[in-house]
């Protein structure tokens, strides 16, 4: 689990009150379901918020600790379910039976079948390790999300979204949910102000950070990547010379949105093939960046569907 997580093997004894737990209610077919050479997870129970492992889980809310350990956190049943469906393989799962409820066993078996350690914790402990206001009793430690620009394989005629300097994890997460729904080939954070493994990005994305290919790089690197793939660069700007619905988004395209505070830097505007604007008729001079991204992406989807329909015999 990375260097900083080595002590997460809870010590038995009264000092930290971490002890071997009895079986979970219902069947626990770990040994029967796991392949040869894969160690069945140790059943542990942690009841003290002062446990060393609890302190390290809390530390993983901070980017430096996540980067050092090479992991991130996934909290919530729905988020964990989507992450697993996208191929994530947890290293450890922390479950609070009081919060997870009677139907917890199938998910526990599913995660344990992937070789993860399963640890049950008290309601007090889960309140300490959770970062959501209304936790549901599920928290997994998973390997860090791959974010190398060179790992992206956008395919033919891709639609790519670039987020330049977007600061708020909640906005990045909301953008990912839209990108997943719209079938975007990749979402790239240029000169990022936060990391894709931020627990609030994972939460706001509802786990789609594991289903949408993502990358992080400098703006110069992203611009070079776009040029090397001959993608049309569409920059969203309030004073864009082309109305969004008049722009051609049907071909290989990279749409770039900027931060709410400063918009897009001059380099992006200068390098753009087209600067597009979203029509606005009220007094506000801008939209939330996640809302803007949704409008831009679904206009591209609309055009691509129309093109596909017209090309179909």
CATH number at residue 66: 3.30.1330.30
166 and 102 in one domain? no
Do residues 299 and 182 both lie within one domain?
Answer: yes
pLDDT under 50: residue ranges of the chain? 1-42
Domain boundary among 143, 165, 187: 143
What's the pLDDT score for residue 178?
97
Cα 194 → chain centroid:
12
N-to-C CA span, the chain: 53
Same domain, 293 and 159: yes
178 with 274, same domain: the answer is yes
pLDDT tens track for 41-69: 446 899 999 999 999 999 999 999 999 99
For position 276, what pLDDT does the model report? Answer: 97
Strand-by-strand arrangement of the 18-20 sheet:
18-20, 44-46, 117-121, 92-95, 138-143, 71-75
The domain of 280 spans 149-311
pLDDT of residue 267: 93
Domain closes at, from 118, 143, 168: 143
Query: Do 135 and 276 belong to one domain?
Result: no
Q: How many domains does the chain have?
A: 2
Same domain, 162 and 115: no
For residues 160 and 68, membership in a common domain is answered with no
Both 84 and 70 in a single domain? yes
User: Same domain for 137 and 83?
Assistant: yes
The pLDDT assigned to 286 comes to 77
For residue 290, the model assigns a pLDDT of 96
Cα separation, 246 vs 260, in Å, equals 24
pLDDT at res. 11: 30
Q: How far is CA 199 from the centre of its chain?
A: 8
Q: How far is CA 106 from CA 38, 93, 137, 245, in A?
A: 19, 13, 14, 47
Q: Which two tokens stand for residue 173?
A: 């997460």
Mark whether 165 and 229 lie in a shared domain: yes
Closest alpha carbon to 173 in 265, 289, 72: 289
Say if residues 111 and 30 touch (Cβ distance below 8 Å): no
Q: How far apart are CA 285 and CA 112, in angstroms?
A: 51
pLDDT of residue 312: 53
Q: What is the pLDDT of residue 263?
A: 87
Same domain assignment for residues 90 and 164: no
Last residue of a domain, one of 143, 168, 190: 143
pLDDT for 310: 57
The domain that holds 199 is classified in CATH as: 3.40.1280.10
Check whether residue 156 and residue 84 sit in a common domain: no
* pLDDT reported for residue 32: 29
């Amino acid at each position: 689990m990375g260097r900083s997580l080595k002590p997460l093997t809870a010590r038995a004894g009264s000092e930290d009150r971490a002890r071997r737990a009895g079986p979970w209610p219902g069947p626990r077919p770990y040994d029967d379901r796991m392949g040869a050479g894969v160690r069945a997870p140790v059943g542990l129970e942690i009841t003290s918020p002062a446990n060393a492992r609890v302190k390290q889980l809390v530390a993983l809310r901070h980017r430096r600790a996540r980067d050092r350990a090479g992991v991130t956190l996934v909290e919530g049943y729905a988020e964990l379910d989507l992450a697993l469906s996208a191929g994530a393989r947890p290293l450890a799962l922390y479950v609070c039976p009081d919060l997870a409820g009677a139907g917890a066993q199938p998910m526990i078996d599913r995660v344990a079948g992937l070789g993860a350690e399963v640890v049950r914790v008290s309601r007090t402990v889960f309140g300490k390790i959770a970062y959501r206001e209304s936790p549901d009793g599920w928290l997994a430690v998973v390997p860090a999300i791959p974010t190398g620009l060179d790992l992206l394989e956008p395919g033919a005629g891709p639609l790519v979204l670039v987020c330049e300097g977007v600061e708020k994890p909640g906005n990045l997460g909301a953008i990912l949910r839209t990108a997943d729904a719209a079938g975007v080939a990749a979402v790239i954070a240029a000169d990022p102000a936060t990391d894709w493994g931020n627990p609030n990005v994972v939460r706001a994305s509802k786990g789609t950070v594991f289903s949408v290919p993502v990358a992080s790089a400098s703006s110069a690197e992203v611009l070079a990547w776009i040029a090397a793939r001959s993608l049309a660069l569409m920059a969203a700007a309030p004073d864009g010379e082309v109305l969004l619905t008049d722009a051609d988004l049907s071909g290989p395209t990279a749409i770039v949105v900027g931060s709410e505070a400063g918009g897009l830097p001059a380099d992006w505007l200068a390098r753009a093939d087209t600067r597009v604007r979203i029509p606005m008729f009220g007094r506000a001079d801008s939209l939330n960046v996640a809302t803007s991204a949704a409008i831009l992406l679904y206009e591209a989807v609309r055009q691509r569907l129309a093109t596909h329909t017209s090309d179909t015999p």
